[in-house]
Chains A and B, each alone.
Chain A
Amino acid sequence: AQSVSQHNHHVILSEAASLELGCNYSYGGTVNLFWYVQYPGQHLQLLLKYFSGDPLVKGIKGFEAEFIKSKFSFNLRKPSVQWSDTAEYFCAVIPYGQNFVFGPGTRLSVLP
C-alpha cells in the first residue's frame, strides 16, 4: 500500500546534539513534501516544504530537509537541537492529484 513512513517513533537527544528524522514515501511520480511540527498543547505548524528546485530546503528555526528522489526520502535535519525543539514532527506528502498523506509522526524529546 502507498504510504508515508517515519523511521523512529520516539527520539531522545541531549541539547546541542544533531538531529536527523527519517521520512520515506512510496508514491511514484510528482510529490510535494512537507514537515510539520506540533509542540505540546499546540497546533500543527509548517516547518518547511519542497515543491521543486533545490532539493535541500531550509525552513524555520534552523531546520532543513533534503529531498532524495532516488531514495523516496525527505529527511529532516538540525545541526544542534534545543530543549524548545521538543515536539512531535510529522512528515507529509501530497502525491500529484491527491490530498495530504501524513506520516505517523516522530516524537522528539530534548533533554536539557
Chain B
Amino acid sequence: EPEVTQTPSHQVTQMGQEVILRCVPISNHLYFYWYRQILGQKVEFLVSFYNNEISEKSEIFDDQFSVERPDGSNFTLKIRSTKLEDSAMYFCASSEARTSGGTDTQYFGPGTRLTVL
C-alpha cells in the first residue's frame, strides 16, 4: 500500500538555525498538508498546498515558515530561524482531492521530530 514518507525521522538543531523537513506524498495525490504536534498537545494544522501554491494556512504558519514542492515528488517545510517553541513532531499528509467538503481522506506520514536546543 502506498504511504507518505518523511525524512529525517529526528532533527536536532540550534536555535536560530534553518531547517528543512522533507516529505514524499503518495504519488497520485494532489493536495499536501503540514501539521505539527507539540509534546503533550493536540495535532495542529499548519498549511495546505495545491497546484504549487498555498491554499490555506493557520495563524501558526507565520513568515518564518515556507513550503515548497521543488520537484515532482518532494514537499518540504522550511523553518527559517528556529525557536525553542518550534520543537514538535511535524506531520506531512496528502490526499487525492481536497478533503474539506468530504471527498477524500488525508494520509499521514510518520512524522519528523524536531528538537530545537
Contacts and interface: CB of A to CB of B under 8 A. Distances in A.
Interface of A: 30, 32, 34, 36, 42-46, 49, 51-52, 90, 92, 94-105
A34 B42 CA distance: 15
Contacts of B51: none
Contacts of A44: 43, 91, 108, 111
Interface string B85-112: 0000001000000011111011111110
Given A100-B35, A102-B42, 9 more contacts: A32-B102, A44-B91, A46-B107, A52-B102, A90-B42, A98-B100, A100-B106, A102-B35, A103-B42
Main SS class of interface, B: loop
A96 B108 contact: no
Contacts of B42: 90, 102-105
Interface residues of B, number: 23
B65 interface: no
Nearest to A100: B45
Contact of B48 (A32, A45, A99, A101): A99
B101 A97 contact: yes
